[in-house]
């Protein structure tokens, strides 16, 4: 199996597919999957205020009726930053002392390569004939995520595709592979609050109206805890990420102050109910003659959780047999494309350790890629055979 997954990963890393530039990375996957019996469909989505994005949908239907497993991942990567700071070329896929170097080595070309390596092995054994395996691969996860997985899933639904379970190959492990899988993610919403007063000389405050005291009260109100957490989620947290007056002078009272914030919320809230709570808090603040404006920044990312029983429990069983330790069910971290897939079937994130993701010198031990591919093959075979028993 390593003879397929590891060289494939190197080929993927050598394509500098910084969002949303595809650079032939999907060609590499299509060339790998088509000889294995996968029907590959290339889809470009655009519009909705974002850039065009290339996507790949590949599916292989077995000879026997059976369950449908979806693997989802992304081939786009974040920029490498200062390439002179890298020990090895960020798009070389170079292997040194058993470690492969390059942007996307952990996040998450390794997950894509390992899954493809797994199905390559299983295609030789007949295990794939017991059901359907599909891959939904986008080149837009690291940025807007507007014309990627969301629209790819909508397209697949329109084609009549239905799934029993899905795996997203994002890094999910903490210390060792398999010690954690993610069964849900908190939601996210961002906003901008502008307090408008009156500019004036700092020596004559009576002739101005400083928006800063009102902004301070807004920050105080926003930081009142929103909840205590739930069974599977940590408490909702709001962070003010910027306070800006655009004022370079120390002796001028600014006309306006802008605050930006982000909230990561648990399953107590929806984006809409959370925004309503923020507006309630803002309405209770004394504006002292200032004017307040509110703007939601970007779309709301919904909170979701997959039921711990059923397919999730079965994956944990396979992982425990494989590793000797049952994985922790986690919901920490930011958002991922799993939020779009959760509308169609239960979904988990199951992949490698993400210690160097987005960093200079991103890298992955070759043995970890081989082990992930081995686990994927074990799980896919067990999943497809499960409903046939």
Q: Catalytic positions, please? A: 76, 141
For 145: left if phi > 0, alpha if psi spans -120 to 50, otherwise beta; the answer is left
DSSP summary character for residue 128: G
Residue 129 burial (10 A CB sphere; 0-12, 13-18, 19+) = middle
Token readout for 205 is: 């405050």
Give dist(CA 329, CA 180) in Å, integer: 6
89 is in an annotated binding site: no
- Pair of tokens at residue 270: 């929806």
Residues 6+ apart with CB under 8 A from 336: 141, 168, 170, 182, 185, 349
Q: Are 26 and 40 in contact (CB under 8 A)?
A: no
Q: What are the residues whose beta carbons fall under 8 Å from the beta carbon of 109, sequence distance 6 or more?
A: 9, 12, 13, 75, 77
How many Cα atoms sit within 13 Å of 2 on the Cβ side? 8
| 157 marked among binding-site residues | no
Tokens 């109910």 belong to: 273
Long-range contacts of 22-26 (CB under 8 A, 24+ apart): 22/54, 22/75, 22/139, 25/75, 25/139, 26/54, 26/55, 26/56, 26/75, 26/137, 26/139
Parallel, antiparallel, or unpaired for β 184-185 and 200-201? unpaired
Cα four-point dihedral sign 154, 116, 58, 29: positive
CB 168 within 8 A of CB 349: yes
In whole angstroms, give the CA distance from residue 222 to residue 8. 48
The Cα 163–Cα 232 span in angstroms is: 24
DSSP track, 194-208: EEE-B-EETT-GGGS
- Residue 82 annotated as part of some ligand binding site: no
309 in a known ligand binding site: no
Helices and strands, number each (H, E), in the chain: 9, 19
Tell me: is residue 142 an annotated ligand-binding position: yes
Q: What is the dihedral of CA 326, 329, 333, 335, to 10 degrees?
A: 120
Q: Which residue ranges make up the annotated binding site for Zn(2+)?
A: 74, 107, 142, 170, 358
Q: Which residue ranges make up the annotated binding site?
A: 74, 107, 142, 170, 358
């Amino acid at each position: 199996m390593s003879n397929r997954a590891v060289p494939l990963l190197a080929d993927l890393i050598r394509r500098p597919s910084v969002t949303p530039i595809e650079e032939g990375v999907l060609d590499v996957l299509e060339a790998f999957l088509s000889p294995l019996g996968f029907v590959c469909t290339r889809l470009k989505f655009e519009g909705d205020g974002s850039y065009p994005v290339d996507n790949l949908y590949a599916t292989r239907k077995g000879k026997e009726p059976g369950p449908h497993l979806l693997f989802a991942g992304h081939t786009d990567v974040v920029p490498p930053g200062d390439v002179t700071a890298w020990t090895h070329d960020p798009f070389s896929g170079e292997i040194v002392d058993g470690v492969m170097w390059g942007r996307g080595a952990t996040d998450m070309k390794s997950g894509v390569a390992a899954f493809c390596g797994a199905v390559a092995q299983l295609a030789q054994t007949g295990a794939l004939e017991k059901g359907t395996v599909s891959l939904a691969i986008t080149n837009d996860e690291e940025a807007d995520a507007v014309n990627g997985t969301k629209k790819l899933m909508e397209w697949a639904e329109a084609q009549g595709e239905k799934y029993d379970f899905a795996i997203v190959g994002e890094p999910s492990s903490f210390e060792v592979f398999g010690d954690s899988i993610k069964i849900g993610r908190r939601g996210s919403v961002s906003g901008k609050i502008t307090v408008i007063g009156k500019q004036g000389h700092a020596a004559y405050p009576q002739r101005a109206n400083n928006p800063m005291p009102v902004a301070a009260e807004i920050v105080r109100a926003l930081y009142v805890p929103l909840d205590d957490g739930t069974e599977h989620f940590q408490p909702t947290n709001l962070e003010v990420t910027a306070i800006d007056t655009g004022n370079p002078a120390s002796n001028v009272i600014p006309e306006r102050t802008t605050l930006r914030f982000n909230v990561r919320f648990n399953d107590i809230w929806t984006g809409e109910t959370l925004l309503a709570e923020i507006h309630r808090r803002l309405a209770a603040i004394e504006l002292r003659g200032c004017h307040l404006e509110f703007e939601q920044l970007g779309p709301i990312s919904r909170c979701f959780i997959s039921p711990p029983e059923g397919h999730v429990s079965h994956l944990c069983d396979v992982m425990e047999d494989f590793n000797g330790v049952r994985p922790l069910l986690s919901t920490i971290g930011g958002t991922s494309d799993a939020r779009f897939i959760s509308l169609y079937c239960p979904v988990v994130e199951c992949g490698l350790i993400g210690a160097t993701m987005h960093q200079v010198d991103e890298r992955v031990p070759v043995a970890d890629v081989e082990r992930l591919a081995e686990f994927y093959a074990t799980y896919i075979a067990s999943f497809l055979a499960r409903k046939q028993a």
